[in-house]
Amino acid sequence: MTGGPFAAVPYLAVVLALAYAILPAPAYAAAPSGSAAMEELSKNAKKEGEVIWQLASSRIEPVVKAFQAKYPEIKLRSFFKTSRDVVTQVIAEDRARNQVSVDVLSLDLQRGTPLLDRRIVASEDWSKLGVEPSQLWADGLIVGGYDTVDGMYYNPQLVQAAEVPRRWEDLLHPRWANYQIATTSSGSALTAIYYTRNGPDADAYLRKLAGQKIAFEQNTAVMTKKFAYGEYKIAVGSVGRMEELQAKKIAVAMVPVGPVIAVRRGFATLKKSPHPNAARLLMIWLASKEGRKALREIGNHAAAFPCDESDLAELLCKNKLEIVFLSTKEKAKEYETFGKRALEILRP
């Protein structure tokens, strides 16, 4: 029993090091340029025969089916895990193994930064493979994607038109005191205040808002559910949820107070992916018009202008709401700093 399960660790380390040295590098090699590159990639992807995609939503099944229809020779296997959980898993696998267990991740810069910082994400010259420049971000490490937008919405059956807040200060009115407003436990959606005024003023505002007694729900899903049942008059969180409510004929409308925060979610592959060619092919397809259309059809779309890009974009345009895009690592980092500061004030 001496040493317990860790007694074998030094030996395992040696075995792993040897395995790392002996085993061949991933089969992916830089492809030639242009359509020839795509053909080569497609050929190699078919040889690999499958691709493993981590999803954060089971609703994405129609997208999987659309890809399978286009590439029947490549079996698209998917599993569900939150971005936060998969990041921890992938870092652990990358540190301990020659190969990770996933090819394509659904990632945003807030959650994906640890992978980018550790240089676990694979880089690629995507433009050579025909990906539009507008679909590339985070120095080309993340491809395509859609936005989740944090904003405010209200229940028109419970809130008179004249009462609807038009400015941040309106939320300090006594009518919104005592758990009339709900947000998520991280309070991240209220971080938008830091983009409207300087730090000390934003801090002072949040202190006053904390005095209003806001309900902090476990997550957006729970908050939305309670909002839908009429428990809260105003919710501060994902606007995407608001669209879902509208689709289910729940009374809901946007509070025209901005800016809103748009967290872009895209797709990335990893240096140690088991099927590097198939992974790239899937990402290219997801960033293509066909892939974007499939994503749009399940409600995952860009908040970016032009206004007719999606219902969400139209909604934001109509309300003339400024959008803060977290499209670079620096912006994501700044948002994280603001978020921590806001939380310390709102929930000391």
Hey, which residues between 261 and 300 contact other proteins (CB under 8 A)? none
Q: Kind and range of the H or E element at 52?
A: strand 50-55
Nearer to other proteins, 31 or 121 (CB): 121
Instruction: Pick from 43, 47, 77, 207 the residue near other proteins by CB under 8 A.
Output: 77
Please identify, among the stretches 3-11, 41-49, 163-171, 193-201, the one whose residues bind other proteins according to the rule CB under 8 A: 3-11
Of 155, 220, 277, 300, which lies in the binding site for other proteins, with binding defined by CB under 8 A?
220
Kind plus residue range of the DSSP H or E element containing 334: helix 329-346
Q: Which region among 13-21, 27-35, 193-201, 284-292 touches other proteins (by CB under 8 A)? A: 13-21
Reduced to 3 states (helix: H, G, I; strand: E, B; else coil), residue 28 is: coil
Q: Report the nearest approach of other proteins to the CB of residue 236 (Å).
A: 13
Site for other proteins in 293-332 (CB under 8 A): none
In whole angstroms, the minimum distance from the beta carbon of 134 to other proteins comes to: 25
**Contact between 217 and other proteins per CB under 8 A:** yes
- Does 88 contact other proteins by CB under 8 A? yes
Backbone angles phi, psi at 217, to 5 degrees: -90, 160
DSSP string, 19-69: HHHHSPPPS--PPPSHHHHHHHHHHHHHHH-EEEEEES-GGGHHHHHHHHH
Question: Given candidates 1, 21, 69, 161, which one binds other proteins under the rule CB under 8 A?
Answer: 1
Yes or no: say if 151 and 258 are a contact pair by the CB < 8 Å rule. Answer: yes
Neighbours of 330 (CB within 10 A): 10
Interface residues for other proteins in 51-70 (CB under 8 A)? 52, 56-59, 61
Sequence-ordered alpha helix ranges (H) in 80-120? 83-96, 109-117
Q: Where are the beta strands (DSSP E) in the chain?
A: 50-55, 75-80, 104-108, 136-137, 142-154, 181-184, 215-217, 234-238, 253-254, 260-269, 323-326
Binding mask 136-175 for other proteins (x = CB under 8 A): ----------------------------------------
Toward other proteins, which CB reaches closer, 51 or 122? 51
Q: Smaller CB distance to other proteins: residue 103 or 124?
A: 103
> Counting contacts by CB under 8 A, is residue 113 touching other proteins?
yes
Three-state SS at 21: helix
- Candidate residues 96, 199, 307, 330; the one interacting with other proteins per rule CB under 8 A: 96
Pick 89 or 196: Cβ nearer other proteins: 89
Site size with other proteins, rule: CB under 8 A:
75
Q: Pick the stretch among 24-32, 112-120, 265-273, 306-314 that binds other proteins (CB under 8 A).
A: 112-120
Provide, rounded to whole angstroms, the least separation between the CB of residue 228 and other proteins.
4
Question: 232: which residues sit within 8 A by CB, 6+ positions away?
Answer: 155, 179, 180, 181, 182, 215, 223, 226
Cβ proximity of 285 and 129 under 8 Å: no
Residue carrying the six token digits 């198939």: 278
Q: How far are the Cα atoms of 178, 234, 235, 310 from residue 231, in angstroms, in the given order? A: 12, 9, 10, 29
Considering only residues 228 to 267 of the shown chain, the ones binding other proteins according to CB under 8 A are 228-232, 241, 244-245, 248-250
Q: Is the Cβ of residue 85 or residue 297 nearer to other proteins in the bound state?
A: 85
How many H-runs (helices) and E-runs (strands) does the chain carry?
Answer: 12, 11
List the one residue from 24, 95, 133, 174 that touches other proteins (CB under 8 A). 95
